[in-house]
Structure 1
């Protein structure tokens, strides 16, 4: 029977590319993709991984997982933006997390060579990309979801 990883297990990830956006500072950046409607950006994928972009162009949206590389420290409780009540960090989307990993669903505009053009970008320029996943409404949209 497989065992769970030790609590102190470390993982190492290598960036698969770089996200580019018009936002060089957190203070100028939208909080979520919904606040960044129409904001265009791009993703440069490492040349040795371009083959993995095959068939991605057929999707309207993609999920980007990335390193929140300018986030430092964390707290287990935080008062979220537009919410006066302190919440547990895992009930928020704060960047100040034990593992500073970000997730955004963005509109896919096109794929050309190693460059993916995207819209609705709420990510800092120069952010290291960890992974790309297609957004599949049948799997990712939940009509019964609640806040």
Structure 2
């Protein structure tokens, strides 16, 4: 059973993932639109905003998979990461098609996938760096408690 502190930590991480994904989606899409679309119109409809928020929420909730079992083997971790990638990509494709974010042609789908992979990679690196820094702080506190320098 998950303790109260573990639940709070899991919820905190899931919210952080959600906010990072939403922020990076807006940044990446804005940059792509600015670079590849003619005109200065950068309008986001309410439908688009909700779609991005849904993708962010699914990303955050999906990351909860990693808290089901914290001490995973490398093989399990890779399987969970692949599953996580597929889930988020499926949601993106479903929402993207539903909200007409891209057309059903190769170049449109390829551009959407490039943006998705970019956001996924950046969020993964950010989470890794935050976990690494947290582990480093914990190790420093343990060393200080033991009197080791």
Range class of TM-score, shorter chain = under 0.3
TM-score (ref. length: structure 1): 0.22
Task: Determine which structure has greater relative contact order: mean sequence separation of CA pairs < 8 Å that are 6+ residues apart, divided by chain length.
Answer: 1
More helix by share: 2
TM (norm. structure 2) is: 0.22
Greater strand proportion: 1
Higher CA-based Rg: 2
